[in-house]
Structure 1
Amino acid sequence: MTDFVLVAGAWLGSSAWDEVVPELRAAGHGAYPLTLSGLAEKRGVPAGQRTHVRDIVAEVEDRDLRDVVLVGHSYSGIPVGQAAERIGDRLRRMVLVDSNVAVHGESFASGSWSGEAAITAAIVANGGFWAVPEAAEFAGQGLTDEQIARLVADATPHPGDTLIERAELAGSLGDLPTTYLKCLLDGPEPNDAVAKLLTSERWRLVEMDTGHWPMYSQPHELAHILLAEAGR
């Protein structure tokens, strides 16, 4: 039996995985969707990026999970990558869903296409949080109106410090068994940091013909991919 720990990206908590988790459990595996500090039902809990790394490690260690597949989506790929290092031989595989990747000494903001200054300014203007996008900003990502409505309803402002703090890695993520899942409607090519890691023999690329939030747009297809990749 594999234990999946699923971590959604910015603004989202464990409910993002509500349509994925039942299929993983029906296949006989453990599935543990995790809400990071400061989000959803944990809103108001102070959080930086290192807090989120600790959240993920604690989920694995406190439950004494083994044969773990860490699933990170979007922003959460950064703390998930650091947590993957820290859980040692408990890790079976990482699956990074259209995600950012941890780069030692870099932050989510510094690696963002919009630039660190723009994200920092947006956080300051919103009282220390990254504001939830308007529904219209989710257009073009393969989502129905109902799926967008659910996504927006699930979302809460994202703690700004998590986007500014720098990642700390002891080694190379390229040494960890990893599947990178690229969602093609969000851009057909992985970013430069991901492309470099994909040159590792321990990394593989899988593509989905959907947008950046496949747990909403194609949850059944995503569950099937997670199950297949866990078997590698």
Structure 2
Amino acid sequence: MSINLKNVEKVYKTGEVKTYALRGVTFDIKEGEIIVILGPSGSGKSTLLNVISGLDTPSSGEIKYKDEIISSYKEEALTKFRRKYLGFIFQQYNLIQNLTVRENVEIGSSIGKNPLNVDEILEKVGIDDQKDKYPYQLSGGQQQRVSIARSVGKNPDILFCDEPTGALDEETGKQVLEILEKMNEDYKTTLVIITHNPNIALMADRVIKMNSGKIEEITKNEHRKKAQEIKWG
């Protein structure tokens, strides 16, 4: 088991007013799984990703990674935890504009405990022919590929993806999902994907549906669909 959450809550206080972003969330993520967290805007899915990954801390409850209770970590320990075990892909590519594609990926791989070969990763995500270009010379889809390569290069145990296809058209979005699928298959990387697109859920092992800060349902796909088989609209 990779991650276990037990009765996790996140409460924001404004004066006397309490807003519950997460309410009693309990589930686990197994090693090598593809998990899709699905829900409308404001359902708590981004907050959930943030507390699972140590970008934020829960107000109560317990989050355990292997045998370590990360929900009790202070900021410095959380930073080390993220650096050692996790990778992140966001809707915004967050690339360093004055570095080439290869240099951006090298920065990611340089902080990994057991980094992958940079040239191999660039080839796998299909941008080895763009490695000497700068981000402004690339399309949105190509920039997202660089973002994926940078995150995967450090060889993380778990890759957190927050709306990774949100800014992309159908063809490019499916290509990006195909790369993520390949990372899971080739490197056994656990994927946690947040999306509001219910069709992307078909490529998951399990789907966590959220609303109003609570888990409404967890379903298992007996047969995962390939990224290219997913209907977009």
What TM-score does the superposition give when structure 2 sets the normalisation length?
A: 0.31
- Bigger Rg, which one: 2
Greater helix fraction, Structure 1 or Structure 2: 1
What TM-score does the superposition give when structure 1 sets the normalisation length?
A: 0.31
